[in-house]
Amino acid sequence: MNDRELDELLRGAQPRSAAEVPLVAPALHQAGQDLLETIMSVPESSYPEPEDLKAEEVVLIGVRRRPPRRSWWLLGAAAAVAVVLAVALPMQFFGRDTAAVEPAGVVKKSGTPGLPQEPLTGDGMPYFLMDNPDWKTAGADSDDIGYSTKGARLSIQYKKGSSVLEEDGTPTISTEMGMQPITIFGRPGAVWDRSKFSDRDGFELYFRHAGLTAMVYGDGLDTREQFYAAIADLKQVSEEEFMASLPDSHVLPDDKAATIQELLADVKVPDGFKAVSVPKEGPIRLSVLADDVVLDVGCAWADVYLKAQKNQDAAGVARAVEAMQGSRDWTAMDKIYGIVDKEKFFETADWMAEGRKMERSDMFGALCEYR
């Protein structure tokens, strides 16, 4: 492994969130093993004797010069990477005695200073408003909620399960990875300093409630004090109160079915079509809902087209082609958020009209593969 390859590995290994930290650790571990094997493979005879050194071969610290022999470079690079890996990775990745590594501690009952400690209520996804007139509810898409103020944004994402927290809220990632135990809303959680293992600044905070894991993260909140101050303004409210705070650009849960029918008013759909990508729970922006509906229709007709081609069903191919040729005039196309690439969508419709042989992954920029 040369220095360029090592740099690329380290850059590529930087995670975008704390949940990705365990995924990149094996790659760094393998890099360490490769370097150790390289060191052990260098024969003793390649090491220079002291009397062989010349004055002009001395390399001063801070001066970039090529070392006089390749074996010296290997030793220097290996030593440097050994330091990086020793700092970045927990000891268990090197097979050392993990007893020397202090595990993530139990949170203090008194709570983490600066964070809200009022216990959460209810057995479902908690809803919040910012108890600060400078902040407003920016939007919500099912389980992804955002709040904004001038120059900053606070977001909360919910999902079932977690690779970051145990069921009791204890962090699964060690403090060496930048994860610190905290208490929030009277329960255990964790905060991750992105700068410890990523090229991104800022923090991510995790806590569990009602079987869900919440990830709170900020943009424009680069210091811990700024991040905690924003979180301290979160106040739990009822679902109805939260829904009332949303901008008019959102579709509420009770209105989803009717809105989907409006979006499909001028769209031909296959028999038995269902908008499978639209989340059943929570509010959603109209533009995101339009994206989901348009792509669901496109993927449904793609399946009809591919099946008809395989079965040499000319009538089925014709139905799919006719429906997709009308996609440029769909009202829903004017409302999409942009997850659907219109150019690729219409390109696929034209390929179908040409009778092109395709795989599902060739259609709509491969977006159907994620439905």
Which tens digit of pLDDT belongs to each residue from 130-168? Answer: 999 999 999 999 889 999 999 999 999 999 988 899 988
pLDDT value at 242 more than 70: yes
Q: pTM score > 0.85 for this model?
A: no
Per-residue pLDDT, 119: 96
249 neighbors 286 (Cβ within 8 angstroms)? yes
- Report the CATH architecture of 127-244: 3-Layer(aba) Sandwich (3.40)
Lowest model confidence (mean pLDDT) among 62-71, 155-164, 317-326: 62-71
pLDDT value at 277 more than 70: yes
Per-residue pLDDT, 69: 29
> Does residue 98 or residue 365 have the better pLDDT?
365
Q: How confident is the model at residue 76 (pLDDT cuts 50, 70, 90)?
A: very low
Lowest model confidence (mean pLDDT) among 75-84, 151-160, 197-206, 225-234: 75-84
Q: How confident is the model at residue 27 (pLDDT cuts 50, 70, 90)?
A: low
For the segment 14-31, the average pLDDT, to the nearest whole number, is 55
pLDDT value at 244 more than 80: yes
Percent of the chain with pLDDT over 70: 70
> Does residue 176 or residue 16 have the better pLDDT?
176
Lowest model confidence (mean pLDDT) among 38-47, 177-186, 288-297, 361-370: 38-47
Q: Over the stretch 107-138, which tens digit does the pLDDT of each residue have?
A: 344 579 999 999 999 999 999 999 999 999 99
Percent of the chain with pLDDT over 90: 56
**Among candidate residues 278, 282, 279, 293, the one with its CA nearest the CA of residue 333:** 293
Q: How confident is the model at residue 279 (pLDDT cuts 50, 70, 90)?
A: confident
Q: How confident is the model at residue 38 (pLDDT cuts 50, 70, 90)?
A: low
For the segment 204-229, the average pLDDT, to the nearest whole number, is 95
Per-residue pLDDT, 107: 38
| Mean model confidence pLDDT for the chain | 78
| CA distance linking residue 12 with residue 146, whole number of Å | 28
pLDDT value at 352 more than 90: yes
Beta bridge partners of 212: 160, 209
Per-residue pLDDT, 317: 97
Q: How confident is the model at residue 370 (pLDDT cuts 50, 70, 90)?
A: confident
For the segment 7-13, the average pLDDT, to the nearest whole number, is 47
Q: Which residues contact 312 (CB under 8 A, 6 or more apart)?
A: none
168 neighbors 107 (Cβ within 8 angstroms)? no
Per-residue pLDDT, 161: 84
137 neighbors 129 (Cβ within 8 angstroms)? yes
* Structural domain spans, the chain: 3-100, 127-244, 250-370
